[in-house]
Amino acid sequence: MVMSETADSPLANQAQKSLEHENVEVGEPKMRARDVDVYYGSKQAIDGVDIDVYTEYVTAFIGPSGCGKSTFLRALNRMNDTIPSARVTGTIELDGEDIYSSGMDVVQLRARVGMVFQKPNPFPKSIYDNIAYGPKIHGLAESKADLDKVVEKSLRRAGLWEEVKDRLSDSGTALSGGQQQRLCIARAIAVDPEVILMDEPCSALDPIATAKIEELIDELRGRYGIVIVTHSMQQAARVSQRTAFFHLGNLVEYGHTSDIFTNPVEQRTQDYITGRYG
């Protein structure tokens, strides 16, 4: 599919729609990445990336497989620390504070910058305990009643409460794939983070479950800064207001989603979104 006029493509139409509700007051960026490089051993996976993440926007990272978008996402809450050979340079700030500085407590950081993974990974515990896990370890609930409230609130925000309220003691792994993923989102919400990183959250789900998650992402926007990595350009166009296109470890283009899909500056972006490679 090769198009000369990108503005006519369905992608562009979707992006145009998301543009309509983009007239919001934008404050300071929640997270600010400057000149970030990520290495695995001697191999450079990310080269000089600058990005701002806003609470008011959903930010989508798109790009072909292996372009480094997931690697960069994992740099935002230092999940790369779990890979011994990974090394990050440059600065990434959360509310102006460098998250790679020695003063930053990585445990606290991850409580503030939560993460949802590609494959739903509920713990092999009850639904209740899955949600209560974070509040318990961070001491967010004073009493059992408090904890109950947090669990209910998180499940409600994740749109899962009505489906599971009568079986909170069932195992989280017994839910369907889509429910499991919403459980994981609820689990992330339960520790009241400021930013939620989502690494291809719908790639293991069917279209109906995907639609629910996308709806949920839209509802969560404004309360949490949301960054989503996705392989689906339609999804990026539907849910995000900012889009970053990665290619071979470089950030090729970053801007308003509508601009990226209707009027990309770079030839490579245009080629990718029109399906010429990727």
Partner 1 sequence: MSVSTLILLVLGLGLAGWLVARSRAAMFRRASGDGRIASLPVYHGWYAALWIVVPTLVFLIAWSSISEQLIIQHVLASPAADGLPSFGMQRETLLSEARAVASGAANGVFNQDAAPLIEPFEEAITRYSIIGFVVSLLVAGAGAGFAFLRLKPDFRARTRVERAVLTTLLIASLVAILTTLGILVSLVFETVRFFSMVNPLDFLFGTNWSPDPMSSASDPDGSRYGAIPLFWGTLFIGAIIAMIVAIPLGMMSAIYLNQYAAPRVRTWVKPMLEILAGVPTVVYGYFAALTIAPAIRDIALSLGVSNPSSESALAAGLVMGVMIIPFVSSMADDSIAAVPQAMKDGSLAMGATQNETIKRVLVPAALPGIVAGIMLAISRAIGETMIVVMAASFAANLSANPLEAMTTVTVQIVALLTGEGSFDHPATLAAFALGFVLFMVTLVLNIIALRVVKRFREAYE
Q: Does 251 bind partner 1 (CB under 8 A)?
A: no
Q: Cα separation of 125 and 131, whole Å?
A: 10
Q: Does 83 bind partner 1 (CB under 8 A)?
A: no
- DSSP annotation of 139 reads T
- 196: helix, coil or strand? strand
Q: For the CB of residue 25, give the shortest distance to partner 1 in the complex, in Å.
A: 30
Q: Does 82 bind partner 1 (CB under 8 A)?
A: yes
Q: Does 34 bind partner 1 (CB under 8 A)?
A: no
Q: Cα separation of 244 and 171, whole Å?
A: 37
Tokens describing residue 140: 């967010």
Q: Which of 29, 68, 134, 249 binds partner 1 (CB under 8 A)?
A: 134
Q: Does 103 bind partner 1 (CB under 8 A)?
A: no
Tokens describing residue 114: 């939560």
Specify the stretch interacting with partner 1 by CB under 8 A; choose among 21-29, 89-97, 122-130, 259-267.
Answer: 122-130
Q: For the CB of residue 194, give the shortest distance to partner 1 in the complex, in Å.
A: 12
CA 157 to mean position of chain CA atoms: 16
Q: Which helix (H) or strand (E) holds 120?
A: none
Q: For the CB of residue 195, give the shortest distance to partner 1 in the complex, in Å.
A: 12
Q: Cα separation of 273 and 101, whole Å?
A: 37
Q: Cα separation of 141 and 132, whole Å?
A: 9
Tokens describing residue 237: 């166009």
Tokens describing residue 73: 């996402």
Q: Does 39 bind partner 1 (CB under 8 A)?
A: no
Specify the stretch interacting with partner 1 by CB under 8 A; choose among 26-34, 181-189, 208-216, 241-249.
Answer: 181-189
Q: For the CB of residue 82, give the shortest distance to partner 1 in the complex, in Å.
A: 6
Q: Which of 133, 218, 250, 271 binds partner 1 (CB under 8 A)?
A: 133
Q: Pattern 202-221, binding to partner 1, x per CB under 8 A?
A: --------------------
Cβ proximity to partner 1, 173 vs 250, nearer residue: 173
Q: 270: number of CA atoms within 13 Å, CB side?
A: 12
